Structure 1
Amino acid sequence: MKVNNAEFIISAVKPEQYPGEGFPEFALAGRSNVGKSSFINKMINRKSLARTSSKPGKTQTLNYYKIEDALYFVDVPGYGFAKVSKKEREAWGEMIETYLTTREELCAVLLIVDLRHPPTKDDVLMYDFLKFYEIPCAVIATKADKIPKGKWEKHKKVVKETLKLKQDDEIVLFSSETGMGKDKAWRILEKYSHKL
């Protein structure tokens, strides 16, 4: 998909703030600092629509990005790093769970992991959660450019085995530096959205 128009719409924390157009939505889940903002920016050919932060745990809301008046990327708060109180973490957890389990417009979740490292315990929990609620998902393994090409398959295997990835869930090796995996990621989104 060629993207000419992309805009940040709203930071939502509760359902009444979610946009109402009924466009397909794709949530991006992953630990803090895994490259979700860089993924969004690469997918839409923009340098800094999604703000990347050197401070992990900066995203504390559901950030809606409208693409081509056709779909939304929804950046959900990263897990793992954020230096916040237990109470705040629980509130986020509730917000994310409400969104993922009740939002009818949600077509699929893109679970963003770092190809260089095995998925974390939190990644595994998120994947299990998505499977439990039968939410379609695909795994985007970022930072592929940081690994020699000859080792891609080995790292991919580690990701698959750690998550116990189901056969029909796709994994995309992605690089926000080189754009590798971008076309495949768009194909997956188109497959899941049916409306594009």
Structure 2
Amino acid sequence: MALRRVTVSLSILFQTPPPSLYLTHTYSLTIPRTTPSLISFRHSSISASKTLTPSLPPSEKPFLFIPPGVEPTQINDSMILPFSNIVIGPYAGDSKIKDVEFIKSSPRAKDCPKDDRPEFAVLGRSNVGKSSLINSLVRKKELALTSKKPGKTQLINHFLVNKKWYLVDLPGYGFAKASEAAKVDWSSFTKGYFLNRDTLVSVLLLIDASVPPQRIDFDCANWLGRNNIPVTFVFTKCDKMKVSKGKRPDENIKEFQEIIKQNYKQHPPWIMTSSVTGLGRDDLLLHVSQLRNYWDQ
């Protein structure tokens, strides 16, 4: 059955000198009615907390992700999650994970659990630290399969959190040692999942911040954008400050954002994390809670 689509107007605020002057640009965006509606989530370049990517000058801070129930003029520094562009609003609630249960592994999208619980899909390039992040979020070792050999996750794995919502572990993409047939198969059923899961609230797209931006990550992000699938960029390995081998994580993140904004009229929410130090763990869960609570309305 074809998706019904609706065209809505959205606004972006761009800060221009002097600081008090804002220009509003409006454009149209087509969104599937069957996709969880996040159309009132807005982005602006209002001055953020000093903890927001400290290396960036004020004029280069990325647009803020402003949730429903929050007006741009109401924002203060305490409402912005550290090392992110995410504003916390009234829909944010209890984000503590008290119980996690593995439900099933599905070889195809149509085999996934059939209920109305909201879900968040975790996706990323192989060896991005996906399983480690999942284990860090739920504070359980080896809940998601971790391995020194990337590409071990080859099924759609559903974990039920607090008996209320799903965390979905998807196969990693870009694993060089996988057979070409396997690559095609993984890509096919993963895209089928995105296009056919009405309960999908958002994709947590993991990006390795310890290396320069990768073309395969842009391809994935742009595909999600073209198909109007809500996404949050979760930058991993932000503790790895190997300057001698390349740029710092914050520099790689800045470069990624500069490139991605060419294809995203509104910059998606993003946050820096580290499974080693726990950076961003609680804040990411708080972000998930407000997306989930808004979706439940």
After TM superposition, the score normalised by the length of structure 2 is: 0.62
SS at match of 2:228: coil
In 2, Cα distance between the equivalents of 1:102 and 1:119? 29
Q: Is the 8 A contact 2:145 2:152 kept in 1?
A: no
Q: How does 1:15-164 map to 2 (within 5 A)?
A: 15-147=109-241, 151-164=248-261
Question: Among 156, 173, 191, which residue is 2:272 paired with?
Answer: 173
Mean Cα deviation higher: 119-128 or 154-163 = 154-163
Q: Which has the larger radius of gyration?
A: 2
What is the alpha-carbon distance in structure 2 between the residues aligned to residue 174 and residue 156 of structure 1?
12
Q: Percent identity?
A: 37
Contact 1:119 1:163 in 2 (8 A): no
Q: Which has the higher helix share?
A: 1
Deviation at 1:160, TM superposition (A): 1.0
CA 1:168–1:162 in structure 2 vs 1: closer, same or farther (change >3 Å)?
closer
Q: What per-residue deviation string (whole Å, max 9, x for no partner) do you get for residues 73-112 of structure 1?
A: 1111111125232222211111001001111011110110
Inter-partner Cα distance in structure 1 for 2:168 and 2:287:
16
5+ residue gaps in structure 2? Answer: 1-94, 243-247
Letter in 2 for 1:106: L
Match status 1:185 vs 2:279: no
1:140 counterpart SS class? strand
Ranges in structure 1 where 5+ consecutive residues have no aligned partner: none
Q: Is the 8 A contact 1:123 1:163 kept in 2?
A: no
Alignment check: 8 A CA contact 2:134 2:144 kept = yes
Bigger shift: residues 28-37 or 11-20:
11-20
Higher relative contact order (CA 8 A, sep 6+): 1
Give the root-mean-square deviation of aligned CA atoms: 2.1
1:4 partner SS: coil
What amino acid is the match of 1:155?
Answer: N
Any idea what SS the aligned residue of 2:239 has?
helix
